[in-house]
Amino acid sequence: MDLLADDAVVCSFGMTTMLNMNFTMSDMWTFYPNFKDVETFDADMKKCEVPMNPGKHYTEIVNSFATKAVEAFNAKYAKGIPIASLMPELGMISGVLKNATISPYLFDGWMYAGFSMYQDMPQLATEDY
């Protein structure tokens, strides 16, 4: 992690942080990422232009920063991220592929997904008279 001042790196931290994410998707192809359980195991100052005692452990400071960053991310994307906002060309997918589902579980190292297409929807039966 780098701290910047006037677009220049002022301090560099080396850190080991674990973040757990709950990632869901609605049938309208809107993604809902939500980070949980931020835990920083180790943070050390690698290089710093200001006197901040290089070599001292900054685990609590980095963990506090990471926790606040995750809270801000979760608040910003609480209403979801429509796939069309990520790439407008993919917006048509939400109209063509209906009832998309992604499993929240891994099986044999794979995450399974499925969908039905617009053409798969039941058609009204009409008879010629």
- Taking only the tens place, the pLDDT of each residue in 79-122 is 998 888 887 777 776 666 666 666 667 778 787 777 666 666 66
Check: CB of residue 61 under 8 Å from CB of residue 43.
yes
Q: Give me the number of domains the chain comprises.
A: 1
**CA 32, chain centre distance (Å):** 8
Check: CB of residue 66 under 8 Å from CB of residue 72.
no
Q: Which two tokens stand for residue 105?
A: 């579980």
Residues 63 and 60: their CA atoms lie apart, in Å, by 5
State the pLDDT confidence band at 53, using cuts at 50, 70 and 90: low
Range of the domain at 96: 2-120
pTM, two decimals, is 0.62
Residue 128 placed within a domain: no
Classify residue 26 by its DSSP letter.
-
Residue 79 placed within a domain: yes
